[in-house]
Amino acid sequence: MPTASPAPANALGGRGLLLAGLAYAALFAWYSWPLGRAWGSAFVGTPHGDANQYLWNAWNFQRQAAAGHNPFFTPLLLYPAGTGLWLHTYTPVLGVLNVLLRQEYRAVNGGLLLSFVLSGAGAARLAGRWVRQPLLCGLVGFAFAFSPYKLAHWPEHYHLLLTATVPFYLLAYLDGLAFAPGRWRPRVRSGRQVAWALFLLLITLFSDYYALAGLVYFSVGYAAWWALRLGEVRWRRWQPWAVVVAILVVGHFVSRGLALAGLDDNAGLWWGGDLAGYLVPPLGNRWLATPASAALWRSPRFHSPGSVENVTFLGYLLPLLALALALAAGRARRAGAPVPAAPAETRPFWALALLFALLTMPELRWLGHDWLRLPTSLVHFVPFLNNIRCPTRHVLLLSLLLPLATAIGLDGWLRGAAAGRGWAVAAALAAGVFFEFQPTAYPLIRQSDVPAAYAVAAAQPGPVVFPIPVGLLDGYHQVGRFDPAELLYQTRHGKALPGGYISRVPAATFAAFAHAPVLARLLLAQRRPDSLALLPPPTPAQVRAFWRQYPAAVFVVPPAYRGRPVHEVVRSLLPPGAYREDVVRGYAVLRPKQ
């Protein structure tokens, strides 16, 4: 059995790690302010946006677990059948936290706070493995935990913020395994660290599958760098460049051929990144965004104008510093001067940073113009793997590897300088990156935002609430219209909904929802009320079947739909004399008489 060798001494001791964690917690509080004053009754999010589903996730998980039921199922969406949640963006780690706290707002906010702090502290600790300058370690933690990519997604996609396991996995991977050139199979240095790495992969699986995919790519790519002896390639010769050109050409034509053959890329190429995404500050950047950059983001030059899925911005200072360090090293070598040697186990980092940059752009694109299909595009034609269909999200690992490799390189140059100079350089760089990454204030979604009409609905004896408009939505399709805010509202009224917002819904479920006779009429009245005359009204038997399926349903009609054709269709369905209609702060509530 191989003997375990000790990991390198870490420059960031317990005190430094504690200070870094406190700083990251303070940053979380500052960025999310005034969330700290409404910790148990609000969360960061765009009203009617995707953030509502994460509060619902924690609420449903705890509700099901407390009742002794399967927490990966809910009877409250797609009523009366309910639906499984294994393929839903469910963030079970937040659900487990809510089992302990039993208050979904505190569980969600506390889970995100822990994730940001642990992401930063873990990345700082990882940097301390090779970087001697403590402030540079803290900068790496900040650049990863509060990267522009994560800050842009904060009001919408909480699962992309659950990155706490990423740096700790890299630490465990490097502590547990030792690689040698020409060998795919590593030597086990610590079985305990290997087991810890596998456990972290499991936690990542229940946090965010994009982060999980990134860790898998890192693991395979790191091993491949050593096995293929990429560090020994002599790039001053023409042969390696000829191989690179051949790979690019073959990858382009194979990818085109697969598309022409009819293979589905699951929209991965369409969602691919744009080089401009690395250069243009994202919407919501406090100091760097301008009216011109905002107009560019919202222009049709991007496939999805204004979408956070275009954000791959890394700032300007870190990429420029990385370029400057490379030029300085090249100049020193040509002059015969000594160049700081990179620690052996960090040598693959620049190649892996390039890999993740290429993963974000399966098709090399500039302002909407596609130039070349890269070999990374082939992944999107592989079933199962092509469920990672938003390639720009691979920038997560790049936002760790770029500052990490840059800090390692800069620290090497600073080791011969006076200690004061090292602190001054690190402080100036940290201040500049901090300036570049600043977001504007985030909106909050508050418990008090739930319309009073849903309190009235909650008091009714029936099992289901019918919100108007009604619909079913997943990551691919939509039938009717489902407002994600209905998930927040459901946490207050606790009744089932006929539709829902679930990450993956079978096609048969969509078809059944769209073609149910009464639902079909409601959907048509929402979408094309002028066509109602073309659809025969449901028969009395179909209306009776509807009421058997949704007994004593309560209908809630918001102000924008009151008096509209869909409201009239709802009224026409009600059993004569059995319902009453009230207006509650602009909302119409149609409920059974008691």
CA torsion, points 298, 304, 308, 311, in degrees to nearest 10?
-90
Please state which of the ranges 12-16, 247-251, 278-282 shows the lowest mean pLDDT: 12-16
Q: State the DSSP code for 468.
A: S
- Tell me the pLDDT band of 4, cut-offs 50, 70 and 90: very low
70 to each of 95, 204, 264, 392, 466, how far by Cα in Å? Answer: 12, 21, 34, 34, 25
pLDDT exceeds cutoff 50 at 5: no
Name the percent of the chain in helix, strand, coil, to the closest 5. Answer: 55, 10, 35
- Tell me the pLDDT band of 2, cut-offs 50, 70 and 90: very low
Q: Kind of pairing, strands 73-74 and 83-84?
A: antiparallel
Residue 147 near residue 27, CB atoms below 8 Å = no
Q: Is the dihedral of CA 379, 380, 386, 392 positive or negative?
A: positive
Helix axes 104-128, 134-145, angle to 10 degrees: 140
pLDDT exceeds cutoff 60 at 1: no
Q: What is the mean pLDDT of residues 264-276?
A: 95
Mean pLDDT value across the chain = 95
Q: State the DSSP code for 439.
A: B
pLDDT exceeds cutoff 90 at 105: yes
Model confidence pLDDT, tens digit, residues 384-408: 889 999 999 999 999 999 999 999 9
pLDDT exceeds cutoff 70 at 265: yes
Beta-bridge mates of residue 135? none
Residue 151 near residue 116, CB atoms below 8 Å = no
Which pair of structure tokens corresponds to residue 6? 């000790």
Which pair of structure tokens corresponds to residue 55? 């509060």
pTM value is 0.95
Model confidence pLDDT, tens digit, residues 57-67: 999 999 999 99
pLDDT exceeds cutoff 80 at 296: yes
As a whole number of angstroms, the distance between CA 268 and CA 516 comes to: 33
Angle at 253 between CA 248 and CA 254, to 5 degrees: 95
As a whole number of angstroms, the distance between CA 490 and CA 465 comes to: 9
Local structure of 592: helix, strand or coil: strand
